[in-house]
Amino acid sequence: MRDRAYRQFTLLVSTLAGISLLVGGIGVMNIMLVSVTERINEIGIRLAFGARPQDIRRQFLFEAVLLCTIGGLLGLAVGYACARVVPAALGWPTEFNERMALIAIACSSLIGIIFGLLPAQRAARLDPAALLRSV
């Protein structure tokens, strides 16, 4: 009975974490798409001066991964602080698992890669001549 309850609780927490990652990823993608739109002049100038589309793609993908990784690190710091403060106040035993922390950071970086691909592709496909006409 105890193992069944543990499995159900694990499934519930995993489902909530998956939904949170999906919503967060969509938010990052939207922010990056807005960033591409706002930086059209910069992209056009970079392309006109010889930047290749893969350079633009790499820049926006790096920004998305950096954004998600920093968010993951901040979340890990808040979680670590809560794991120290709350149990001390309530008398619950806790432990910090470094392996799980690394997996969490890797997942946040992976979310940046997955949800940063569309904005990076969109930025790389822009036509420099059309972009420079809008300057």
pLDDT in tens, 16-43: 988 998 999 999 999 999 999 999 888 9
In this prediction, residue 135 carries a pLDDT of: 61
Six token digits for residue 5? 């309850």
pLDDT surpasses 80 at 112: yes
Helix, strand and coil content of the chain, in percent to the nearest 5, comes to 85, 0, 15
Average of per-residue pLDDT values in the chain: 90
Confidence at 134, pLDDT banded by 50, 70, 90 = low
pLDDT surpasses 70 at 14: yes
Confidence at 122, pLDDT banded by 50, 70, 90 = very high
Q: Nearest-5° angle of CA 23, CA 123, CA 75?
A: 30
Q: How far apart are CA 29 and CA 35, in angstroms?
A: 10
